[in-house]
């Protein structure tokens, strides 16, 4: 039989074995490279104040962030690639901003882009392949030691970095961009060294760390402020053909009335034989023609698609009215004279009274 002490020892030993056998996940290794804006001691900047170290504090204990930049190393010469940056192997590589030390007269965008592609390809060739982030240079208003260096950063470095990030690399892979060029804060005086000479101040390193943190931990990468291009306007429609005007209606023709026929004058009578008196003059006919009919026909309306033809003109010619006298019509039924109607009514009343008296006598008998 096993004692309680022995049983407790066995359980404890088993627990230790389980803890020892449990897999502990390793921290994510982040290697950062760059020139004087990544690693420097100028201006009294402490190592803990550089943006890679501040990024490590922001990411927390699950990340190990290494600053393996080379202060004077240039992309164009190949010295920016440090051996330490290839070790780990890294899970993430952040290629910091380059500009001032890389500048030299005669270096074109195509030349510098080829050198930057070679730098990026060195990390994409690692196994396993790390996630590569690239930083654009600070904004155009960031002050370097000369205007030529500012122009070089804006017109050569920035477009070359974006081209390689867009897929101009050995893996034809789209890389994530930490866009310092679009960060307005880095263009202000407090974020630049005093006097300004192409270095970040402590505040500038803090701002760069904040922008990098948003991209790595929150996946908020790129400028984030650019707007899409406006859509192309639609093609104007073709105007419709005008409709033909309708033809005007034909004018109406008036119907002319015939005038009345004038009667011929009567012939004078022949003088009586031996008589002193002459015959009376003959009388002309009195009936004349009827009234002429007024014109009534109107023009037909035009049949155009929109405008219509004007109405035809109403005929106006009318015959001259005849002068025949109206016929006299006789009255209808009923009495024509009031007195005769009254006499007839009285006779009727007397007869009715006589009949009534006769009927009364019969009833009595």
CATH code for position 170: 3.40.50.1110
- Looking at residue 232, its pLDDT comes to 42
- Looking at residue 120, its pLDDT comes to 98
Provide CB contacts within 8 A for 81, sequence distance 6+: 33, 73, 119, 122
| Summary mean pLDDT of the chain | 72
Residue, of 350 and 257, whose pLDDT is higher = 350
84: which 2 tokens? Answer: 């330490």
Question: What pLDDT digit, counting tens, does each position of 139-153 carry?
Answer: 999 999 999 999 999
Provide CB contacts within 8 A for 80, sequence distance 6+: 33, 34, 35, 69, 70, 73, 74, 98, 119
Residue 39 sits in which domain range? 26-218
- Looking at residue 155, its pLDDT comes to 97
Residue, of 45 and 236, whose pLDDT is higher = 45
Residue 252 lies in a domain: no
Per-residue confidence at 353, pLDDT binned at 50, 70, 90? Answer: low
Provide CB contacts within 8 A for 282, sequence distance 6+: 265, 266, 267, 268, 269
Question: What pLDDT digit, counting tens, does each position of 58-83 carry?
Answer: 999 999 999 999 999 999 999 999 99
Residue, of 245 and 33, whose pLDDT is higher = 33
Residue 334 lies in a domain: no
CA 300, 306, 309 angle in degrees (round to 5)?
25
Per-residue confidence at 25, pLDDT binned at 50, 70, 90? Answer: low
- Looking at residue 72, its pLDDT comes to 92
Residue 167 lies in a domain: yes
Residue 44 has pLDDT above 50, yes or no: yes
Per-residue confidence at 361, pLDDT binned at 50, 70, 90? Answer: low
Residue 213 lies in a domain: yes
Total number of domains constituting the chain: 1
**Number of neighbours of residue 92 by Cβ within 10 angstroms:** 20
- Looking at residue 357, its pLDDT comes to 53
Residue 306 has pLDDT above 60, yes or no: no
Residue 266 lies in a domain: no
Residue 273 lies in a domain: no
Per-residue confidence at 43, pLDDT binned at 50, 70, 90? Answer: confident
Q: Provide the sign of the torsion angle of the four alpha carbons 105, 107, 109, 112, taken in this order.
A: negative
* 322-to-185, 260, 262, 286 alpha-carbon distances in Å: 110, 5, 10, 11
Residue 15 lies in a domain: no
CB 247 within 8 A of CB 308: no
Residue 60 lies in a domain: yes
**Alpha helices (H) along the chain:** 4-21, 51-59, 109-124, 147-152, 158-165, 202-218, 338-364
Q: pTM value? A: 0.57
Burial class (CB in 10 A: 0-12, 13-18, 19+), 16: exposed
- Looking at residue 360, its pLDDT comes to 53
Question: What pLDDT digit, counting tens, does each position of 86-110 carry?
Answer: 999 999 999 999 999 999 999 999 9
Mean pLDDT value across residues 5-22: 41
Question: What pLDDT digit, counting tens, does each position of 234-282 carry?
Answer: 444 444 444 444 444 444 444 444 444 444 444 444 433 433 333 344 3
Long-range CB contact pairs, 221-227, < 8 A, 24+: 221/133, 221/176, 221/177, 221/178, 221/179, 222/177, 222/179, 222/182, 223/179, 223/181, 223/182, 224/179, 224/182, 225/182, 226/182
Burial class (CB in 10 A: 0-12, 13-18, 19+), 311: middle
Percentage, residues of the chain above pLDDT 90: 53
Residue 220 has pLDDT above 90, yes or no: yes
Question: What pLDDT digit, counting tens, does each position of 147-198 carry?
Answer: 999 999 999 999 999 999 999 999 999 999 999 999 999 999 999 999 999 9
CA dist 222 and 364 (Å) reads 141
CB 287 within 8 A of CB 305: no
């Amino acid at each position: 039989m096993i004692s309680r002490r022995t049983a407790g020892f066995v359980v404890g030993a088993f627990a230790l074995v389980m803890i020892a056998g449990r897999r502990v996940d390793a921290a994510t290794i982040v290697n950062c490279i760059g020139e004087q804006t990544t690693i420097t001691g100028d201006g009294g900047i402490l190592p803990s104040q550089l943006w890679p170290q501040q990024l490590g504090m922001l990411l927390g204990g699950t990340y190990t962030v290494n600053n393996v930049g080379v202060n004077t190393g240039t992309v164009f010469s190949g010295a920016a690639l440090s051996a330490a940056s290839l070790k780990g192997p890294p899970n993430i590589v952040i290629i910091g901003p380059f500009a001032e030390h890389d500048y030299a007269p005669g270096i074109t965008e195509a030349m510098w882009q080829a050198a930057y592609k070679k730098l990026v390809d060195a990390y994409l060739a690692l196994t396993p392949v790390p996630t590569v982030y690239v930083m654009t240079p600070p904004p155009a208003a960031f002050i370097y030691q000369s205007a030529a260096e500012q122009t070089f950063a804006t017109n050569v470095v920035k477009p070359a970095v974006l081209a390689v990030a867009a897929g101009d690399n050995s893996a034809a892979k789209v890389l994530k961009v930490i866009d310092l060029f679009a960060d307005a804060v880095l263009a202000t005086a407090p974020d630049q060294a005093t006097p300004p000479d192409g270095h970040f101040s402590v505040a500038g390193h803090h701002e760069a760390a904040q922008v990098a943190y948003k991209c790595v931990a929150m996946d908020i990468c790129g400028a984030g402020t650019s707007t899409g291009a406006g859509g192309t306007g639609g093609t104007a429609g073709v105007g419709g053909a005008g409709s033909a005007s309708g033809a005007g209606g034909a004018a109406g023709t008036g119907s002319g009335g015939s005038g009345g026929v004038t009667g011929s004058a009567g012939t004078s009578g022949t003088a009586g034989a031996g008589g002193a008196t002459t015959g009376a003059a003959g009388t002309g006919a009195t009936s004349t023609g009827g009234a002429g009919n007024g014109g009534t026909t109107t023009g037909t309306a035009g049949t155009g698609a929109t405008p219509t033809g004007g109405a035809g003109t109403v005929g106006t010619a009318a015959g001259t009215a005849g002068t025949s006298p109206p016929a006299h019509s006789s009255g209808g039924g009923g009495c024509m004279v009031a007195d005769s109607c009254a006499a007839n009514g009285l006779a009727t009343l007397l007869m009715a009274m006589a009949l009534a008296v006769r009927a009364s006598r019969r009833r009595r008998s």
